[in-house]
Structure 1
Amino acid sequence: MTLERILETAGLSGATTTPLGGGTYNSVFRVSSREGEFVLKIAPEGPPGLTYERQLISTEAMFCRLASKVAPVPEIVHTDDATALLATFLPGEPVFGRDVDRPLIRRQLGEAVRAVHEITGPGYGYPQLGLHGTWTEAFQHMYAAVLADAERFGVRLPTTDLSRHAKAFDEVRRPALVHFDLWDGNVLADTGLSGLVDGERAFWGDPVAEFVSLALFGTIEDDRDLLAAYGFEFTDSARVRLAAYQAYLYSIMLTERVPRGSSDEAFERVIMDALTRALGVLA
């Protein structure tokens, strides 16, 4: 379906589009019409790159429908749950690289993330891949999938045996809605927090997994403002799980560079160093 046809189906009139940067999977456009300002996402053609990268439009639509009720998340205007998603345009700009009132933003972000995590799902894992009855089983499948993707793309990754830490994962007894991509580029702010965007990588699982991207390549326990507002205190088992989720995300980031044609060797070293540190916790 053409871009014009998508906008017509969504009921917009006099619409103009402007490409937006920052998207690493879908094509993203800002849409201006008589009905208002919107963001349009269009899925890429062809097969998915990594195993979980399928039907991401459907996953983001699900995330927005649920999370927009409790946090500053775009509301869905139109979607076909396969190739296109039209959502409301939120004010503000990504906080990445900006001079903002960071303590305020982090406190507001902690409150918003906690509200999202209170949403409970019907099972564990990625909704587009089929849910599991336990988080332990779901995460084992998620981690195994990215290792299989790495082998398929010829990426050599250091790994660990997660089964040694099964008791830590067994502590997760409720499938919370997890965004899993809340780095500073997906957090919007003007005078305060104004948006959480790009929920296409969401899953049902352990809220601790959220803390990986919230402190990408860093240590979330240093973020006292966010953790205090969230109301979270780490335990030893939560630290083990966090390290596993770091290893998972950094393995994804290293593997996806092949199908995306990325060749930034310096950034690859940053990711690999972070992966090595995470695996050291699990050793």
Structure 2
Amino acid sequence: MISQEFKKKIIETLHLLGISSTSIRLEPLNGGCINHAARLTAGNHTFFIKWNESPPPEMFQKEARGLALIKQTNTIRVPEVLAYFDGVDRKPSPPAFILMEYIPSGKPLSSHTFKNLGEQLAQMHLHSLAPGGKFGLEEDNYLGTTLQKNQWHEDWATFFIEQRIQPQMELALRNGKLPPFRRSLLEKLIIRIPELLGNQTHQPVLLHGDLWIGNVLNDPGNHAVVIDPAVYYGDREAEIAYTQLFGGFQPEFYLSYQQVFPLEAGFEIRKDLYNLYHLLNHLNLFGEPYGLQVDSIARYLIG
């Protein structure tokens, strides 16, 4: 059930898009644990809407910008963003929301979808070099609800330490999830990161940034659609590594990616380092069960 104020704001937004319907219907959809999601029907028009009563600042604006950056590559399909509203500093206020194209996605992901996604992701990585050749983004954004720092750096290892691992460590310390032994492990690992990442060529290319199986859909033509990005310009190995962390991507994805843009030797070792960022984020968001994986990877990489 939505408030009258929220309903009024949706209708007002639709009017700005040229849709004059005063009657709307929301059908709840399964989604993540962060936002509410629904199929929105207004007359003969159907949309996807996602909302949050207490989001981090500018969360949906940053999501819209991330989707726009991916769309500009003309590779992987993303839903078209039609409008967003990040709330106002007054109470009561309608929830923040983002309104998008509705893409029916009833079919399970198939081997064809994964092949398609692998080819298109490789093309995106091949042809989306960062402006200025640096790692980062012109603004910070979010990984889930965690602030993701993106200050520009010329060196990839420095970026990964200062914008990825250290901010997560600082957050874990504030959250009481960085006991002395874990802090010591991670500090020792940080010293090794330049060595672990020093024997390959790093190019800053556009990354989706949160590419796991839950952020991939099928469109009616059985082609891949990606959602919920946390974009930045980084080394492509960080993207491929995360697709392996929680499983779900079929072999066709990796085969087709490799055919277009082969990975360099040593990826199987480096992927654990890249996934440490996401495990630390999950530790901060969901708690100690992820701490065991953080500790295990840190010990392994320290050697």
Mark yes or no: TM-score above 0.5: yes
Residue in structure 1 matched with residue 174 of structure 2 by the alignment: 152
**Which residue pairs with 1:29 in the alignment?**
38
Match of 2:91 in 1: none
**What displacement does 1:148 show?**
1.0
Partner of 1:192: 222
Aligned equivalent of 1:132: 152
- Matched with 1:5 is 9
Identify if the C-alpha distance between structure 1 residues 67 and 36 changes in structure 2 by more than 3 Å, giving closer, same or farther: farther
Which of 169-178 and 23-32 deviates more? 169-178
**Equivalent residue of 2:245, what SS?**
coil
- The alignment covers a number of residue pairs equal to 259
Query: What code does the residue aligned with 2:192 have?
Result: R
TM superposition shift of 1:44: 4.3
Distance 1:80 1:214, change over 3 A: same
Unmatched tracts of structure 1, length 5 or more: 49-53, 259-267
Q: Which amino acid aligns with 2:78?
A: V
Which residue of structure 1 lines up, in the alignment, with residue 165 of structure 2? 143
- In the alignment, is residue 39 of structure 1 matched against residue 48 of structure 2? yes
2:298 counterpart of 1:279: yes
Native 8 Å contact 1:105 1:192 kept in 2: yes
Note if contact 1:247-1:278 (Cα within 8 Å) is conserved in structure 2.
yes
2:64 pairs with 1:61: yes
Aligned to 1:162: 190
Deviations 1:155-202 (A, max 9, x none): 137343233231554656432221232222221125623421122x22
> How many angstroms does 1:206 deviate by?
1.4
| 1:120/1:177 contact within 8 Å kept | yes
Structure 2 portions without partners, runs of 5+ = 88-95, 141-148
Q: Between the two proteins, what is the percent identity of the paired residues?
A: 23
Paired residues of 1:41 and 1:86 also in contact (CA < 8 A): yes
How many Å separate the matches in 2 of 1:172 and 1:59? 29
TM-score by length of 1: 0.77
Instruction: Answer yes or no: is the 8 Å Cα contact 2:40–2:49 preserved in 1.
Output: yes
* CA–CA distance in structure 1, aligned partners of residues 248 and 294 of structure 2: 13
Does 2:244 match 1:244?
A: no
Displacement of 1:17 in angstroms is 1.7
Pick from 105, 110, 127 the counterpart of residue 92 of structure 1: 105
**Is 1:114–2:110 an aligned residue pair?**
no
**Conserved? CA contact 1:186–1:197, under 8 Å:** yes
Following TM superposition, by how much is the alpha carbon of 1:149 offset from its aligned partner in structure 2, in angstroms?
0.9
In 2: Cα distance, 1:6 partner to 1:172 partner: 48
**2:131 pairs with 1:104:** no
Residue 57 of structure 1 deviates from its aligned partner by 1.6
2:82 match: 77
- Return closer, same or farther for 1:256/1:3 CA change in 2, 3 Å cut-off: farther
Which shows bigger deviation, 30-39 or 147-156? Answer: 30-39
Assess if the C-alpha contact under 8 Å between 1:246 and 1:275 holds in 2.
no
Give the Cα–Cα distance (whole angstroms) in 2 for the partners of residues 214 and 193 of structure 1. 18
Contact 1:91 1:195 in 2 (8 A): no
- SS state of the match for residue 8, structure 1? helix
Q: Does structure 2 retain, via aligned residues, the 8 Å contact 1:94–1:187?
A: no
Provide the TM-score with structure 2 as the length reference: 0.72
Distance, in Å, in 2 between the alignment partners of 1:41 and 1:172 is: 39
Higher mean C-alpha deviation, range 117-126 or range 28-37: 117-126
Report if the CA contact (8 A) 2:47-2:99 is conserved. Answer: yes
Q: Which amino acid is the alignment partner of residue 114 of structure 1?
A: A
Q: Distance in 1 between matches of 2:44 and 2:128?
A: 31
Partner Cα separation in structure 2 for residue 60 and residue 211 of structure 1: 21
